[in-house]
Structures are given as C-alpha cells and as structure tokens.
Amino acid sequence: MERQEVSLKKEDGVALLRIERPKRLNALSRDIVKQIGELLEEIEVDEETRVLLIHSEKHFAAGADIQDMAECNEQEAAEFVFSPVFDRIEALPIPTVAAIEGYALGGGLELALACDIRFAAETAKMGFPEINLGIMPGAGGTVRAPKLIGASAAMELIFSGGTISAQRAWELGLVNRLEPEASLFEAAWEFAARLSKKAPLALRMAKKTIQEGLAMDSEIAAVHNESKNWASLFRTEDQKEGMRAFLEKRSPVYQGK
Ligand code: CAA
C-alpha cells in the first residue's frame, strides 16, 4: 500500500476521519477506501467513540479515482466497488456526520450518503457525474439517493450527470444543513461534539430503530419494534440518570451503561 492518505483523530468522543489527497481533489483510490476500511475496524470496537465525523479539507472527494478504474474489466470492477466499506459506515452503531466542502461527486457523494447526517458549505458542489464516463453510480448512489430525495429527483441527478449547488442539494433534502464555508467544519464539529454528550445507548438504539423501521414492510411491525426497543432503554443506568437529572434540575452525566 502507498503512504497513508486517510487520517483519524479522536477527541471528546468524536472520531474525525479525513481523506488527505489534495492533488487529486481527494479522489477515492482503491488504497484510500481500503485504508478507510482499516480505520473503521478501530472505530467499530471503540466504546469511547460516540460519533464519527467525515470531513476533508477543500474538497470532500471528487469521486472514485478514474485512473484506477479506467482499464478495469468486469471482474476487476466488481472487486473495485466501494460498497462493502460504505455499507460498514452506514451500519456503524453510532451517529455519523459528513461535512462537505468543495466537490462531493460520484463515489464522494456516495460516501457522504452513507453517513446519517450531512452538513455542507454554501459553496459545495455535488453530483453524480458517472454517466459522463459511461458508467453509473456503483457505491450505493442508486439506492441511497432515491430513498433520501425520491426516485425522480435522484434520476434527474444520475441521468444528467450534472453538478448541483449546495443550495439546490439542501432544497432537495440531500443535505441537512448549509453553513458558510469558513465555519462549516466548526459547525459540524460542534454538532458532533454535542451528540457525543448525549446518552450513548439511547443514541445507538434510536439509530438502530430507525434503520430497522426503514427496512420493514409493515408500519405496524415497525412501531411495535420501536415500542420494544424504547422499553429496553429502561434497563439502562443512563435512563435513570437522565430522568433523575431532569427532576433534580441538573445536567445529566451519562456513563453509557
Ligand atoms: N479521479 C482521478 N483524478 C481526479 C479525479 C477523479 N475522480 N477528480 C479530479 N482528479 C484530478 C485531475 O485529473 C487533476 O489531476 P492532474 O492535476 O494530474 O491533471 C486534479 O485532480 C485536479 O483536477 P482538475 O484539474 O480537473 O480540477 P478542476 O477544478 O478543473 O475540475 C472537477 C474539478 C470538476 C471535480 C474535475 O476534476 C472532474 O470532473 N473530476 C472528475 C469527477 C468525476 O467524474 N467523478 C466521478 C468518478 S466515477 C465514480 O465515482 C464511480 C462510483 O460510483 C464509485
């Protein structure tokens, strides 16, 4: 493997993952995605990490590395796909936040879509340019974008291969929050740090319950599942602490137990 082009720093319960390949606008090479996968192994077992924040300087990621893919045959393309790693990001039990500045294109946008929440700089640009290369999104874009913004809006983006402004992405619901470019990282970090202070077991249960509910065909079954998961939180010390703290008019201190 080449030199490390992905960094991971942990502070105050937030793990900050960054792609560091500025000369290629943080385009995602095979090695970079492999490195992300290796760092995920660490995050997956780290009880102290309460939130994952993904942010890269200047550009989130200008897509999969076209040089890496250009000569792939079908078998090699099947091995190139990023979905196994992106699916693990989606499956993390903790909240995940993407902070997008500059370009988030193709596989870069798909990386952001694998996160739970997206912040974007007002100057960010997003899109699925794959069609312009004779392919289509292949790392979750055709699945996650329609779920988020509806099939027709996703088809418009994917069929046209055009790039949209952050404002348009916000109007479509592709991103949750728009921030001035200068304060994007600070705002996303502050949000992630705030989540890291919330009751960790309740956060994990909320994420799990939302994901389970989305995967269920029956709304009744999903609501029943929610009731069961909700009640299970009453086994935790955090529930006692949260409610006692309210009644005692003080801030709760959660142990994740
Ligand atoms: N792969 C490889 N290299 C890339 C890249 C990519 N996705 N995106 C940018 N680069 C490289 C450029 O080739 C250039 O390298 P050199 O300096 O060696 O020439 C360098 O990064 C800077 O880029 P530009 O000079 O092109 O910068 P720009 O500001 O003029 O344009 C851009 C920026 C519009 C993002 C343009 O770089 C671009 O169109 N990039 C390709 C975007 C793209 O098509 N992404 C989708 C890839 S396919 C995919 O992601 C498949 C999937 O589903 C997983």
Say if CB 244 and CB 253 are below 8 A apart: no
pLDDT of residue 253: 94
Q: Please, is 19 exposed, middle or buried when counting C-beta atoms within 10 Å of its C-beta (0-12, 13-18, 19+)? A: buried
At 140-173, the pLDDT tens digits run 999 999 999 999 999 999 999 999 999 999 999 9
- In angstroms, the CA 142 to CA 107 distance is 11
Instruction: Tell me which residues have their CB closer than 6 angstroms to ligand 1.
Output: 24-25, 27, 62-67, 82, 103, 105-107, 110, 129-130, 133, 137-139
Q: How many CA atoms lie within 13 A of 4 on its CB side?
A: 9
Mean pLDDT of the chain: 97
pLDDT of residue 1: 45
130 belongs to the catalytic site:
yes
Active-site option among 110, 122, 171, 181: 110
Domain boundaries, the chain: 6-196, 200-247
pLDDT of residue 4: 85
Ligand 1: nearest atom to the Cα of 132 = 44
Closest-CA residue, ligand 1 atom 8, reads: 62
Among 19, 20, 66, which residue has the most ligand 1 atoms within 8 Å of its CB, making it the best to mutate?
66
At 170-229, the pLDDT tens digits run 999 999 999 999 999 999 999 999 999 999 999 999 999 999 999 999 999 999 999 999
- In angstroms, the CA 9 to CA 7 distance is 7
- In angstroms, the CA 106 to CA 113 distance is 11
Dihedral, 181, 187, 192, 196 alpha carbons, nearest 10: 160
Ligand 1: nearest atom to the Cα of 108 = 50
DSSP helix/strand/coil, 30:
helix
Ligand 1: centre distance to CA 132 (Å):
12
Q: Which residue has the higher pLDDT, 27 or 1?
A: 27
At 120-145, the pLDDT tens digits run 999 999 999 999 999 999 999 999 99
110 belongs to the catalytic site:
yes
Q: What is the per-residue burial (b if ≥16 Cβ within 10 Å, else e) of 211-231?
A: eebeeeeeeeebeebbeebee
Q: What is the pTM of this model?
A: 0.97
Active-site option among 130, 181, 186, 212: 130
In angstroms, what CA-CA distances link 95 with 44, 100, 211, 257?
A: 12, 16, 12, 18
Ligand 1: centre distance to CA 100 (Å):
16
Ligand 1: centre distance to CA 64 (Å):
9
Select from 1.10.12, 3.40.50, 1.20.58, 1.10.3470 the CATH code of 200-247.
1.10.12
pLDDT of residue 103: 98
What sign has the CA pseudo-torsion 50, 56, 60, 65? negative
Q: Which CATH class is domain 6-196?
A: alpha beta
Same fold, 6-196 and 200-247: no
What sign has the CA pseudo-torsion 100, 105, 109, 111? negative
pLDDT of residue 2: 52
